[in-house]
Chains A and B, each alone.
Chain A
């Protein structure tokens, strides 16, 4: 589906020449309607508001869930991996260690999971009305950003409390990079999600594989263990670190907040490159599938 370069199908500005919509098959996969998406920016904002409002309205605990969820996850991790498995936390208090791992990981997993089912769950909407389809997954990622913000605030509170109690952690000035780090996670999560969403159109059992995939991925990422545990290991351990676009951000977040030793810049750069490729592939795949996917569902 294409609006050619000269026209937008969206809200034309009053006074401008009438927008022209050209409908013809076979637009190249890289023809992503950026301009048109811009004209739908109000819908983008409203979709984010809808998702946030609905979450707050639906549950009895409302926004409290967002505070409880990361804390409870951390408690579980602390008990299972810290107390029972006695895994190393690089001399960092276990609670802070696990919580620092889950902040960005939960954000990433949230993006991945919501985007991956976005075509299937909104199929009905997409078969009744047109708007740039990419807008919906983008709004889902933006919604996750809001949750992330809350998680960061909670984490900051817990950290401050621990430091006041004398925990040996030292936040570094690198914390200023946090927005970029979050952006990287969002981009990777959205990219993988878009790719999976496109595949779900053809293979419905993809949805069943999704929880398994994200779980597996979490264990391949230094969320519940420090990088030092694997970076000195056999070559394939290092290879997984280098190829995993989430290893870098999760590790870097921990080092900038708690002052642990970060993984090498080369490993980080490799993960970043993989992440960008994954995003590009996911985006193009989605752009190809979205044009006619309503025919197959």
Chain B
């Protein structure tokens, strides 16, 4: 083979962070008025948003991708793995031409189709037939190509009877099947696929995986992002591990996945921010967040009746007044279960002298219902008006219900908390 089909060289992408956003002409005007009066606009225009993010973030750049280089030869199937925020989506967006890189270059030889989502552009008022044409054309097919594959698409989707019904009347399963059917018949030379397999029922997922396997075996070049290590192992000849926006390891699928999984396991129950991130922090910098079980060992899950605690280690670099450190426990569906700060109950901050501190928060025993939770940690001052650091998703942990309310096996009790309410019942 002469040239590689995909050649990526020094690809980087920076997003601007923390700049006071001037989203309206009114904001723009206020911004310049503050500047003209010699004041820091950030001090006057900051707002605390719904997530409690405060306004004093330093202005700067966030590198979602940094100097990423790799090559893919014709017919290779490369899996891309990495944790959330590692840069996988950004890489796909650039290779799909949805956004432009900040620097670097990518050269793709052959017809590229990318699938970041199935059913993009589907219109609820149009029929299945019309949507096949619309979606196919949006994905880059010509009318002739779609017409030639139309029967196969319909057959694959198994919705022949409803092909002339508006898709707004489809069940979600039918909708997804039709959407995937179009995507599966793109027949490109280079295929860039984001995690789109998690759709439909199990039997349809099997069919999708089978179809992707077919695409793979037809000798196409495929870039495949997934959190499903089984699928990557099965489909990909090589793997690329992205971590913090850079290529951490590339090569044999088995080796890369093993290294990646080992790294994930080593981080269970503990979070340490990037050294670079910590160095750039302000007067208070986060060093470590750890989940501890009843015996004080690191853990990733605990029983509902067991004691557990969260430790937050941080450095104070300059003496700051009205400072506090806190954590938020957030459920899987992003509901904040509670927020707690180290100066509770009154929640007012205190003076912190420079030095290293370890704050320890005991989690209430038996409160949380079974399931997964995420922990965000932060430090702020002046009752949250000024954020010193924040890590929205530092840790996650699982709670297993072993005794007490809702512990009878097989029962799925709804609710975020388990409360033993006193009940009385009298014959009336």
Contact = CB atoms under 8 A, between A and B. Distances in A.
A54 B106 CA distance: 38
Contacts of B408: none
A18 B109 contact: yes
A1 B24 CA distance: 26
Contact of B15 (A20, A40, A202, A295): A295
Contacts of A46: 133-134, 137, 143
Given A1-B100, A53-B126, A131-B138, A23 B106 contact: yes
Given A46-B133, A128-B116, A292 B25 contact: no
Interface string A121-148: 0000111111100000000000000000
Interface string B109-122: 11110101100110
Interface string B126-139: 10001001100111
Given A11-B140, A129-B121, A20 B107 contact: yes
B24 A126 contact: no
B98 A21 contact: no
A25 interface: yes
Interface stretch (B44-52, B89-97, B341-349, B395-403): B89-97
Contact of A24 (B99, B101, B121, B125): B101
A102 B212 CA distance: 54
Nearest to A42: B143
B381 interface: no
Given A205-B24, A294-B99, A24 B104 contact: yes
A259 interface: no
Given A58-B125, A131-B140, A205 B26 contact: yes
Contact of A42 (B96, B130, B142): B142
A53 B130 contact: yes
A40 B139 CA distance: 10
A54 B100 contact: no
Contacts of A57: 125-126, 166
Interface in B69-89: none
Contacts of B138: 43, 125, 129, 131
Contacts of B305: none
Contacts of A43: 137-138, 140
Contacts of A63: none
Nearest to A23: B106
Contacts of A53: 125-126, 130
B192 to A, nearest CB: 11
Interface in A23-59: 23-25, 40, 42-43, 45-47, 50, 53-54, 57-58
Contacts of B28: 203
A130 B97 contact: yes
A211 interface: no
Interface string B6-35: 000000000100000011111010000000
A9 interface: yes
Nearest to B194: A128
A46 B131 CA distance: 10
Nearest to B146: A42
B313 interface: no
A18 B108 CA distance: 10
Contact of B99 (A50, A58, A292): A292
Contact of B121 (A25, A125, A205): A125
Contacts of A205: 23-26
A12 B111 contact: yes
A274 interface: no
Among the interface residues A9, A43, A45, A291, which one has the most CB atoms of the partner chain B within 10 A? A43
B100 to A, nearest CB: 5
Contacts of A291: 99-100
Interface string A183-226: 00000000000000000001111100100000000000000000
B141 interface: yes
A62 interface: no
Nearest to B104: A24
Given A1-B100, A9-B97, A42-B143, A129 B114 contact: yes
A277 to B, nearest CB: 23
Contacts of A126: 98
Contacts of B107: 20-23
B24 A25 contact: no
Contact of A128 (B98, B126, B166): B98
Nearest to B13: A295
B130 A25 contact: no
Contact of A23 (B97, B133, B134, B144): B97
Contacts of A130: 96-98, 114
A19 interface: yes
Nearest to A24: B105
A20 B130 contact: no
Interface string B400-412: 0000000000000
B102 A25 contact: yes
B23 A204 contact: yes
B360 interface: no
Interface of A: 1, 9-12, 18-25, 40, 42-43, 45-47, 50, 53-54, 57-58, 125-131, 202-206, 209, 291-292, 294-295
Closest 9 CB pairs of A and B: A205-B24, A43-B137, A130-B97, A42-B143, A23-B106, A24-B105, A21-B108, A291-B100, A128-B120
Given A11-B140, A50-B134, A203-B22, 10 more contacts: A21-B108, A23-B94, A24-B105, A24-B106, A25-B104, A43-B140, A129-B139, A202-B23, A203-B25, A294-B93
27 contacts: A9-B97, A11-B141, A12-B110, A12-B111, A18-B109, A18-B111, A19-B110, A20-B109, A21-B112, A22-B107, A23-B94, A23-B101, A24-B101, A24-B105, A25-B100, A50-B130, A54-B126, A57-B166, A125-B120, A127-B93, A128-B98, A129-B96, A129-B114, A131-B140, A204-B24, A205-B24, A292-B99
